[in-house]
C-alpha cells in the first residue's frame, strides 16, 4: 500500500516552469516554522504511537523504514515550499529514493529545498520521541539556510549562511547559539558508530589521551545536529551522507561556531549524492576536530 502511495504521490517531483532570478530572497523563518509546525500537528503527531501495521514498510533493509507519516508529510511540504519561493524545486527523501536522478538538481542554479519529513523514522515507528523534520535550502550545491524542528518539544533550530544560528522555543522566544569549545576530551559527549568508537578508544589509550565520557546515537541525525549547535553534544562522526540528513545541520553547526569537514582531507561538506568512502566529522573547534581526526586514524 505505501509503495503505491510513494510511486504515485512523490516519485516524480514537478519541474519549475521558469529560470530562477539570480537574486535569491529566502522566505521568512516564521513562514518555514509555521509550515513545519502545521505538518507536525496535522500529519505526523496524530500518527505517533498510532500506526497500523500496513502503515509501516521496510525499504532497503529492516531498519530502513517508511511510514504513512513520512509520505503524508513529504507530500504537504513538496506542495507548500515552492509556494514560498517561486521556481524552486523540492527533493524529499522518499522522492529521491524512488528517483535518485533528482539529486542532480543540487548542482544547478535553481533553488532546491531538501526535505526529510520524518528524520528518525525507526524511532517514530517504535514510539520513541527522538524524531524531527529537516528542511534545507540549497543553491548551486551550497546550503544557504536550514531548519530542524522537534515536533515533540515544539522547538526549532535554524540558520542562514553568514547570519548565525538560533534556537526558538515553542513560545517563540529566540536565543542565538554559540558553541563553547572545551579542551578536555574526557568531558566531551559524542555520536559515532561502535566501530568508530572502538578505533577512537584504542588510539586514545595508545597516545595516553582520556576517552570521551559518553558516546552514543540518538537515531535521529536532526536532533543530534540541534544538540551539537546547542552544546549538549560535542562531536559527531557520520557516514553515508544523505543530503536531506546533513545539509541543514552542517550549516546550523557552522553558524553556531562549530567546525566540520569531510574526512579525509578536511574538505567542506557540500550536499549531493552519497559517496561511500566519505565521512563527516563535526567538533566544537578546529583544534578538537584535528585531534579527533588524528585519533580516528
CATH of the domain at 121: 3.30.540.10
95 and 220 together in one domain: no
Phi, psi of 118 (to 5 degrees): -140, 95
Q: CA-CA distance, 21 to 142, in Å (whole number)?
A: 16
**Is residue 2 pLDDT above 80, yes or no?**
no
- The domain of 44 spans 2-176
Mean pLDDT of the chain: 91
80 and 29 together in one domain: yes
pLDDT tens track for 26-45: 999 999 999 999 999 999 99
Q: Find the mean pLDDT for residues 8-37.
A: 67
Q: CA-CA distance, 133 to 74, in Å (whole number)?
A: 10
131 and 16 together in one domain: yes
C-alpha cell read off for 227: 544538540
Q: Which of 155, 176, 197 is the last residue of a domain?
A: 176
Count of H helices and E strands in the chain? Answer: 9, 14
148 and 191 together in one domain: no
Cα 159 to Cα 89, 117, 279, distances in angstroms: 20, 18, 23
How many CB atoms sit inside 10 A of residue 8's CB? 9
73 and 204 together in one domain: no
Tell me how many domains the chain contains. 2
193 and 114 together in one domain: no
**Is residue 14 pLDDT above 50, yes or no?**
no
Buried b (16+ CB within 10 A) or exposed e, 114-152: bbbbbbbbbbbbeebebbbbbbbbbbeeebbbbbbbbbe
Please report the pLDDT score of residue 22 as a whole number: 53
At a CB cut-off of 8 Å and minimum separation 6, what does 172 contact?
none
Closest CA to 15 of 137, 108, 142: 108
- Percentage of residues of the chain with pLDDT beyond 70: 93
Q: CA-CA distance, 23 to 199, in Å (whole number)?
A: 46
At a CB cut-off of 8 Å and minimum separation 6, what does 30 contact?
none
Beta pairing partners, 190:
215, 235
33 and 93 together in one domain: yes
Q: Which of 142, 176, 210 is the last residue of a domain?
A: 176
pLDDT tens track for 135-144: 999 999 999 9
142 and 196 together in one domain: no
6 and 139 together in one domain: yes
Please report the pLDDT score of residue 264 as a whole number: 84
20 and 160 together in one domain: yes
147 and 189 together in one domain: no
- More confidently predicted of 64 and 1: 64
**Is residue 241 pLDDT above 70, yes or no?**
yes
C-alpha cell read off for 93: 527523501
**Is residue 177 pLDDT above 90, yes or no?**
yes
- More confidently predicted of 211 and 162: 162
Torsion angle (degrees, nearest 10) of CA 217, 170, 168, 69: 50
- More confidently predicted of 59 and 4: 59
Q: What is the pTM of this model?
A: 0.91
Q: Find the mean pLDDT for residues 112-130.
A: 98
Specify the length of the chain in residues: 297
104 and 168 together in one domain: yes
Domain with residue 220: its CATH number is: 3.40.190.80
**Is residue 285 pLDDT above 60, yes or no?**
yes
Q: Which of 153, 176, 199 is the last residue of a domain?
A: 176
Amino acid at each position: 500500500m505505501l509503495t503505491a502511495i510513494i510511486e504515485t504521490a512523490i516519485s516524480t517531483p514537478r519541474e519549475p516552469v521558469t529560470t530562477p532570478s539570480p537574486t535569491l530572497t529566502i522566505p521568512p523563518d516564521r513562514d518555514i516554522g509555521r509550515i513545519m509546525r502545521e505538518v507536525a500537528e496535522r500529519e505526523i503527531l496524530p500518527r505517533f504511537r498510532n500506526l497500523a501495521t500496513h502503515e509501516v514498510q521496510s525499504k532497503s533493509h529492516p531498519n530502513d523504514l517508511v511510514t504513512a507519516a513520512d509520505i503524508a508529510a513529504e507530500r504537504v511540504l513538496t506542495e507548500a515550499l515552492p509556494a514560498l519561493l517561486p521556481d524552486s524545486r523540492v527533493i524529499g527523501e522518499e522522492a529521491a529514493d524512488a528517483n535518485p536522478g533528482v539529486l542532480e538538481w543540487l548542482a544547478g542554479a535553481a533553488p532546491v529545498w531538501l526535505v526529510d519529513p520524518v528524520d528518525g523514522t525507526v524511532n517514530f515507528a517504535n514510539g520513541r520521541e527522538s524524531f524531527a523534520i529537516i528542511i534545507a535550502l540549497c543553491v548551486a550545491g551550497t546550503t544557504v539556510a536550514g531548519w530542524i524542528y522537534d515536533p515533540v518539544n515544539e522547538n526549532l533550530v535554524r540558520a542562514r549562511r553568514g547570519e548565525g544560528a538560533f534556537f526558538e522555543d515553542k513560545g517563540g522566544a529566540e536565543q542565538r547559539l554559540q558553541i563553547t569549545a572545551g579542551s578536555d576530551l574526557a568531558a566531551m559527549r559524542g555520536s559515532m558508530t561502535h566501530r568508530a568508537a572502538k578505533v577512537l578508544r584504542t588510539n586514545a589509550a595508545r597516545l595516553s589521551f582520556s576517552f570521551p565520557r559518553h558516546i552514543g546515537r540518538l537515531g535521529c541525525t536532526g536532533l543530534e545536529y540541534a544538540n551539537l549547535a546547542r552544546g549538549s553534544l560535542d562531536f559527531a562522526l557520520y557516514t553515508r551522507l544523505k543530503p536531506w540528513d546533513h545539509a541543514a545541520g552542517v550549516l546550523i553547526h557552522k553558524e553556531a561556531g562549530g567546525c566540520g569537514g569531510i574526512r579525509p582531507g578536511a574538505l567542506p561538506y557540500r550536499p549531493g549524492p552519497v559517496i561511500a568512502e566519505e565521512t563527516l566529522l563535526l567538533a566544537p573547534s578546529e583544534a578538537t576536530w584535528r585531534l579527533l581526526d588524528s585519533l580516528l586514524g
